């Protein structure tokens, strides 16, 4: 297949590209390579994908391309909100499916810089939807987020639950993406699958994630900030398990749900070719337990500063993944201990600690 992967220099995108290349697909990758975190990490991910010495700057750019030795991977540097660049890619390449992972990430950063989220997550997603509509894409898989559950308290979080009370603008843009996708599924028959990611972790991860900063601070002898006095839990999901689920979903484009009932509607499917899935581990872990696994893998104890809950955060996440497992015939297999150990080994190697 010829597949378009946005966010190809990002954490999840990096692994998806490598897996799809290994499976023999032709890949067009796209990333903005902005400075939300150190862009060198993104450039190093591209090198891992086989690109020769990528050296894109963080300045605004029109389409810039680089090709791998293998010949079946071409990477473009461009902004999602650059409608002309996105249109050009869709016009020049006959994609079978699109895996849209690019977005402005981060709950807390959305409080500081909300406009970035509207530009990338709303305007950028609109350009992807238009490309899928105009070029009859067979399946659009896009990244939503567990953040959409917001103020919900009923656990585990189910895609059958209403998600009408986001607590961050980041979450609001992801909920908006799901609504936009449904509109295009309804009006134009674009098959769309939205994936609500639950705390993905592992090697090559994002430096703004807590497990990454915990590891960095412990190794550098600094205390770590533990929010909500440690009374938090997350459905931590190892990157390899995320990738396996996504790859299995690519050929499984949604069809209209014949059992969908307008008098008792589920948000998870539709009379249109639309679905939303949780993609997680279905096994929440207390934050203090997670920190303990990092300490164990490092062989070091952390000095902890207990802090109140941060604005935009939630105390717990827990994914009901029954529908995902039914579709993909796959259950996450990586234990927390194994996943944390692999991340710490990568961190020590990459940063030469």
Nearest of 193, 192, 145 to residue 169 by alpha carbon:
145
- Count of CB atoms within 10 A of residue 164's CB? 11
Both tokens of residue 197?
């990611």
Both tokens of residue 231?
């009374």
Q: Can you list the positions of beta strands (E) in the chain? A: 2-6, 26-31, 64-67, 73-77, 97-100, 139-145, 192-197, 200-201, 224-226, 233-234, 237-238, 274-279, 285-286, 304-306
Residue that has been written with the tokens 């098959």 in this structure: 191
Both tokens of residue 293?
């696994």
Q: At what angle do helices 336-350 and 287-298 cross, to 10 degrees?
A: 50
> H/E/C letters for each residue in 261-309?
CCCCCCCCECCCCEEEEEECCCCCEEHHHHHHHHHHHHCCCCCEEECCC
191 — phi, psi (to 5°)?
A: -70, 120
Spacing of C-alpha 238 from chain mean position: 12
- Count of CB atoms within 10 A of residue 305's CB? 11
Active site residues: 170
Nearest of 194, 200, 146, 172 to residue 318 by alpha carbon:
146
């Amino acid at each position: 297949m010829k597949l378009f992967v946005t966010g190809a220099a990002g954490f999840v995108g990096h692994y998806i590209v490598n897996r799809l290349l290994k499976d023999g697909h032709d890949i067009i990758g796209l990333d903005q390579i902005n400075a939300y975190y150190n862009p060198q990490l993104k450039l190093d991910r591209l090198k891992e994908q086989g690109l020769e010495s990528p050296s894109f700057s963080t300045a605004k750019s029109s389409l810039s391309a680089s090709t791998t030795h293998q010949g079946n991977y071409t990477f473009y540097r461009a902004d999602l909100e650059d409608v002309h660049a996105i249109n050009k890619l869709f016009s020049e390449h006959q994609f079978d499916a699109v895996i849209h992972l690019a977005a402005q990430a981060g709950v807390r950063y959305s409080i500081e810089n909300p406009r970035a989220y509207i530009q990338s997550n709303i305007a950028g997603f609109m350009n992807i939807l238009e490309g899928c509509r105009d070029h009859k894409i067979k399946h659009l898989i896009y990244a939503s987020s567990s953040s959409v559950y917001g103020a919900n308290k009923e656990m585990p979080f189910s895609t059958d639950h209403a998600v009408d009370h986001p607590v961050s603008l980041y979450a609001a843009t992801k909920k908006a993406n799901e609504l936009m996708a449904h509109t295009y599924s309804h009006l134009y028959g674009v098959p769309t699958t939205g994936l609500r990611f639950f705390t993905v972790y592992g090697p090559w991860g994002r430096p703004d994630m807590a497990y990454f900063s915990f590891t960095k601070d412990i190794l550098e002898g600094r205390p770590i900030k533990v929010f909500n006095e440690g009374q938090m839990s997350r459905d931590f999901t190892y990157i390899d398990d995320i990738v396996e689920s996504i790859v299995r979903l690519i050929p499984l484009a949604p069809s209209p749900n014949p059992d969908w009932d307008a008098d008792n509607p589920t948000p998870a499917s539709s009379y249109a070719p639309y679905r939303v899935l949780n993609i997680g581990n279905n096994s929440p872990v207390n934050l203090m337990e997670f920190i303990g696994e990092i300490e164990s893998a490092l062989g070091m104890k952390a000095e902890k500063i207990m802090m109140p809950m941060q604005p935009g955060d939630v105390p717990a996440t827990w994914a009901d993944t029954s529908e995902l497992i039914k579709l993909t015939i796959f259950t996450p297999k990586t234990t927390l201990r194994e996943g944390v150990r692999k991340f710490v080994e990568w961190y020590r190697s990459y940063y030469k600690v």
